[in-house]
Chains A and B, each alone.
Chain A
Amino acid sequence: MYAMTLDEKTNIALRSIELKKAGKKDEAMALSKTIPVSLSVAKAMKMAFGGDYVKNSGFNLSEVEAVYGKEWFDR
């Protein structure tokens, strides 16, 4: 699996912020969702909103799935 570097994540996040500032909120959110979510963020969101929401959120969960497996969301 290709792991995105922090630099790459940072550049996408900055582009997404620019889009938001330009009033393109949907595009900004769509771009944000391509950044692989870190384990700490996924765990926090699962705790607060449940695994089902995280699994179906549309955010990039590749890092989480690589470490915990796809079944983690349902546990």
Chain B
Amino acid sequence: MVKNGLIDKIFDSVANIDIGRQNLATSGKTEAGLSILTDGLQNAISAYQEARTNCNLELIWRAEAAYLAHEKEICEETIREKGKDMANLLILSGLSNMLVKSNDALRSLNTLETNPQDYVKAETTHPTTGTPYRVRSGVPKDAFHNACNYNIKCLQHSLATPGINQPEKELMKHRIENLQYAKIEYEKLQKKALGLPETTIKRR
């Protein structure tokens, strides 16, 4: 289970990101806004690092969901205030997809961790070969892998977008690293549940 202290840290960071952005967008208090926004982003990075150190895949995904859901709320607010601009609609659609993937990942992780026997049974429904269905080691490329791959790709795309400030870029880089790490750790859990040795690459 996720530690409350870490969740508080995430809560605090999302709240500061929110206050920082409100200042930048409305009050003209650029210096204060930037300072609070930067603190929020640094706190988020620190929470991500802590989740990774504790090997906490659930927290990595729940933190991801919190930041995505907040982005989505802000995007919806902007659309309500400024109208349906095509660029914002595209961003909203992308964020919604990423959130759906986050929930998929958490669902897969929950099944794998709490009902490994059910996971073993479900594994037989995956085709035995083919890169869309299996990762190189032979374990199923399930919703968790798809979610990691999809969100990593979206974050990499966002990183290349002009106009993103350095602290936000840093957070995105950490999110990408954490999702890459989550994929590797999840694969270890899959191998354990399926009774595969950790180092053996199984070709199917």
Contact = CB atoms under 8 A, between A and B. Distances in A.
A17 B12 CA distance: 11
B36 A14 contact: yes
Given A41-B15, A57-B11, A17 B36 contact: yes
Given A6-B27, A20-B39, A45 B11 contact: yes
B29 interface: yes
Given A9-B19, A40-B73, A49 B27 contact: no
A44 B12 CA distance: 12
Nearest to B11: A45
B154 interface: no
B182 to A, nearest CB: 15
Interface of A, secondary structure class, is helix
B22 A43 contact: no
B18 A38 contact: yes
B53 interface: no
A17 B145 CA distance: 37
A38 B23 CA distance: 13
B15 A35 contact: yes
B67 to A, nearest CB: 8
A7 B7 contact: no
Contacts of B18: 38, 40-41
Contacts of B2: 49
Interface string A37-71: 11111011101110001000111000000000000
B32 interface: yes
A10 B77 contact: no
B63 interface: yes
A53 B3 CA distance: 11
B170 interface: no
Contacts of A45: 10-11, 14, 66, 69
Interface of B: 2, 4, 7-8, 10-12, 14-16, 18-19, 22-23, 26-27, 29, 32-33, 35-36, 39, 62-63, 65-67, 69-70, 72-74, 77, 99
Given A38-B22, A49-B66, 14 more contacts: A10-B29, A10-B33, A10-B36, A32-B16, A33-B12, A38-B19, A40-B73, A40-B77, A44-B73, A45-B11, A48-B66, A49-B62, A53-B7, A58-B8
17 contacts: A6-B22, A6-B27, A10-B19, A10-B33, A13-B19, A13-B36, A14-B35, A35-B15, A38-B15, A38-B18, A40-B77, A41-B11, A41-B70, A44-B66, A44-B72, A48-B65, A57-B7
